Chain A
Amino acid sequence: MREFLIVLAYTFSENIRKKTFIVSIIITLILTVAMMIIPGLITNSPGSGTPDDNDQKNHSTVIQNFYVVDTIDMLKNDTGFLSKTFTDYNFKMKTSSDVISLIDRIKADENTFLLVLGEREGKPTFEYYFMSYEAGPDFNILEQKLKDKYASNILDSAGVDASIAAKVTSIPDVSLNELGKGQLKSRISSMLIMFILIIAIYYFGYGVAMSVASEKTSRVMETLITSTRPSRIIMGKTVAMGLLGLSQMVLIFLVAVITYKLFFPKNFRIFGQSIDFAAFSPLVIVMIMLYFVLGYFLYAMLYAVAGASVSKSEDINTSIMPISMLSILAFYIAYVPAIMPNSGNITTVTSIIPFTSPFSMPGRLLMSNVSSLELTASITLLIATIVLFSWVSIKIYSAAILNYGNRLKLSDFIEMTKSKH
C-alpha cells in the first residue's frame, strides 16, 4: 500500500505540474465560462429575447409600415387590436387596387409588409407579403389574432352574446407541471455530460498510456520495477491520473455552477429546446462522478497495457487505437439510443453493459428515473469487469514492460496472461 501511494503521489505531482495539463485546464475553464456567458450575451443583444417580448422590442428605432387589404371587411377598418399587440408597426388599410404597387414597394423596402385578407370556398385566406420574414412581426401571433377576429365576427353575426364570444376566443392559461424528469428538457445537459465523459476518459486514459510508454522508452522502467511490483506501478499510475481527471472535472463543475448561477439566462433555448440543469441533484452528481471513475478505470487499465506494449513512443497512437475505437464505439452505442425518442429498452441495456454503461447511465439518470435494481446491476457488473480486466492488464503489463524490439501480437498478450507476476 505504501509503494502504491508513493507511485500515486509522484505521478500526480509530476503530471499536475506539466505545462500541457495547466494549459488544457485553463482552456477548458475558459470554454466553460464562455458557454455560460455567451447565451446571456445572445439573449440580451438587440433582436433577441423571449418570443413574447420580441415583437415589443424589435425594431424599436424604425417604425415599419404594415399594410392591410381587407377584401372581406373582416377588420371593419379597425386595426387597433393589431397596433396594440405590435407596437412597432404602423398598420394602414389599403384597397385591392393597391396590392401590386404595395408588392413593388415591399421589394424596395424590407421594412414594409402587406397582408391581404380574403375568402375562398367559405374559408378565410391570409396572404402575407414580406421581404424578410425575420424583419416582420411574429406571424404565429398575428395569425392567432386574425383567427380570433374572424371567429368573433362569425359569432357576432350569429347573434351570440359578446361576452360569450369573448370566452370562446379567449386563450386558455396553460400551466405545465411535469412531475417526472423532463426528458426533453434534460436532453441537452445529458448529451453534454456524455460528451464530457468520453473526452475525459479518452484524455486521461491517453495520459496513462503516454506515461507508461515514456517510462519504457526512456528505460527508467528497468529501474522502477526493481523498486516495486509492476502491479503497484500500474495501479498507482492509473489512480493518480484518475484523481487528476476527477480534480479537473470537479474544478470545471464548480466553475460551471458558479457561472451558471451568475450569468446563464433563464428560459434559454437551443433549437427550441430549453436547457435545464434541475436534474443535477446531489445524488445524480455523485453518480456521474462514480461512473466517470469506474469508466475511466476500466479503459485506463487497457490504455496502460497499450502503453506498455510499445518500444518507441511514436508507436503509441497505433497501439492505443483498438482501445480508442472500443471507447468510441461504446460511446455511440450508448449515445445514439439516448438521443432518439422511443428507443425503448435499448438505453436500459446499454446502461447495464459494462463498456457502455459509463456513458449511458449518467445520461439516463438525468433524463429518466432509474430503478435501484438497474443501478445496482450496472455498478456491480462494471466493478466486476474492472476487477477482471485489471487482473489481466497487470499480468500483461508486468511482462510487456521489459519487452523491447518487435511489436507485441495478440498471441504474445495471451501468453503473458499466464505469467506468475
Chain B
Amino acid sequence: MGLQIEHVNKSYGDKKVVNDLSFSINEPGVFGLLGTNGAGKTTTIRMILGILEKDGGRADWNSKEITRENVRFGYLPEERGLYPKAKISDQLLYFAKLRGMSSKDAKASLGYWLDRLKVSEYAQKSAEKLSKGNQQKIQLISAIIHNPVLIILDEPFSGLDPVNIDLFKSVMKELLEKEKYIIMASHQMQAIEEYCREILILDEGKTILSGNLKEIKHSYGRTNLFIDCDGDIADFAREEGIDKITSTASGFGLKISADNQAYRLLDKVIKAGLRLDKFEIREPSLHEIFVELAGEYK
C-alpha cells in the first residue's frame, strides 16, 4: 500500500539529474525530501506525479503506476503560479472541477478552505491584487481543495511570515489527522524535523541518506555538546582533545566523541569558577547532518 518509487532515473543530455532513486511511503504521514538547490527534488516530484517522463524505473501508488486517474494527488509547486487576472474563486473552482469534483462539492470545499486559511474576503478579487503570502495560501488551497490522498508540498513555508507559518503548520496537522500521505520538500530543517518520520537527502541526483529520521539521528550518537557560560572554554576543550569548537553569541558548540569527554570538560568549567547557564549533550540536528553530508559530497 502507499507510494513506491523504484530505481527511477532521469538525464538531460549527459547530465544525470536523478540517479537510481528508490523509496517508499507505506503509511500516512510526512516524508521529507531534502537536497541542495539543483539536487533533483523538483525533477523527482514531477516524475512521481507523471508530468515528466522517466528514463527508467517505476513510480507506483498501491502497486499501480501513478497517473491522474489512479490516484488523487495535490501539488504545491515551488514556483507558485495563479492566473493573475482571474478571480480567486473562479480559478480554484476550475482546478477542483478538473480534478473530478462536482460543482456543489467544489463550492463547499472552497468555502471551507477559504475560511480555514482566512482568505474568504479575497474570493472575488483577482490574484494579482493579493499579497505574496495570501497568494501562497490560495496556492495551498488549489493543492488540497479536491481532498487528495497524496499531497506533495514543495517549499510550503518559504516566503511566509511567522503567523502564516503557524497557520500552514496547523493545516499540515489537520491533513495528518485525515491520514494523508504527504511529501514535503523543504530547506527548512526545523519544519522537516517537526513533521517527518522518514527522510531522503539528494545530492546531484544521488541519494546520500535515507531512512527514519530518529534512527538516523541515533546513528550519529550524542556527539553534540552545547555549553553556555560566562568565560572562554576553548583551552579546556582542547585539553580534553576536542578540536571542533564553534563559538556563537549564545555559547559554544562542541563535537565530542563520548559522554565522558563532556563530563570532564564540565568538571573543568566548574572548577574554574565560571558561571554555567546551559550544559546539553544531544544528537546532531537535521540541519547539522544535512550541512555535513552536503558539504562532504561537494
List A residues at the B interface (Cβ < 8 Å).
3, 6-7, 10, 14, 18, 215, 218-229, 402, 419-421
Contact = CB atoms under 8 A, between A and B. Distances in A.
Contacts of B75: 222-223, 226
Contact of A223 (B46, B86, B95, B97): B95
B51 A223 contact: no
A229 B142 CA distance: 17
A23 to B, nearest CB: 15
A235 to B, nearest CB: 14
A208 to B, nearest CB: 16
B161 interface: no
24 contacts: A6-B94, A6-B98, A14-B86, A18-B85, A215-B83, A219-B79, A220-B82, A220-B83, A222-B75, A222-B77, A222-B79, A223-B81, A223-B95, A223-B142, A223-B143, A226-B51, A226-B68, A226-B73, A226-B74, A226-B75, A227-B98, A402-B46, A402-B51, A420-B53
Interface string B87-122: 000100011011100000000000000000000000
Nearest to B42: A222
A245 B261 CA distance: 80
Interface residues of B, number: 27
Contact of B98 (A7, A218, A220, A222): A7
A227 B79 contact: no
Interface in B123-137: none
A227 B95 contact: yes
A367 B52 CA distance: 51
B57 interface: no
Contacts of A220: 81-83
Most A Cβ at <10 Å: residue of B49, B74, B98, B139: B98
Contacts of B142: 223
A249 B74 CA distance: 40
Nearest to A236: B98
A73 B75 CA distance: 102
Contacts of A14: 83, 86, 90
A219 B90 CA distance: 17
A420 B55 CA distance: 11
B159 interface: no
A80 to B, nearest CB: 77
A14 B68 CA distance: 25
B22 to A, nearest CB: 22
A402 B51 CA distance: 9
B68 A228 contact: yes
B49 A226 contact: yes
B38 interface: no
A219 B98 contact: no
Given A10-B94, A14-B86, A229 B68 contact: yes
A402 B77 CA distance: 12
A218 B83 contact: yes
Given A228-B98, A421-B53, 19 more contacts: A3-B98, A6-B94, A6-B97, A10-B94, A14-B83, A218-B82, A218-B84, A219-B77, A220-B81, A220-B82, A220-B83, A223-B82, A226-B73, A226-B75, A227-B98, A227-B99, A402-B46, A402-B51, A419-B53
A98 to B, nearest CB: 80
Contacts of B99: 227-228
Most B Cβ at <10 Å: residue of A10, A228, A420, A421: A10
Contacts of B51: 222, 225-226, 402
Contacts of B86: 14
Given A218-B84, A222-B81, A223-B77, A402 B52 contact: yes
Contacts of A3: 98
A227 B99 CA distance: 5
A419 B52 CA distance: 10
Contacts of A228: 68, 98-99
Contacts of A18: 85
B80 interface: yes
Nearest to B142: A223
A286 B98 CA distance: 33
Nearest to A230: B51
A54 B71 CA distance: 80
Nearest to A222: B77
Most B Cβ at <10 Å: residue of A222, A224, A225, A420: A222
B100 to A, nearest CB: 8
Most A Cβ at <10 Å: residue of B46, B74, B79: B79
Contacts of A223: 75, 77, 81-82, 95, 139, 142-143
Interface in B221-279: none
Contacts of B139: 223
A218 B77 CA distance: 12
Contacts of A226: 49, 51, 68, 73-75
B53 A219 contact: no
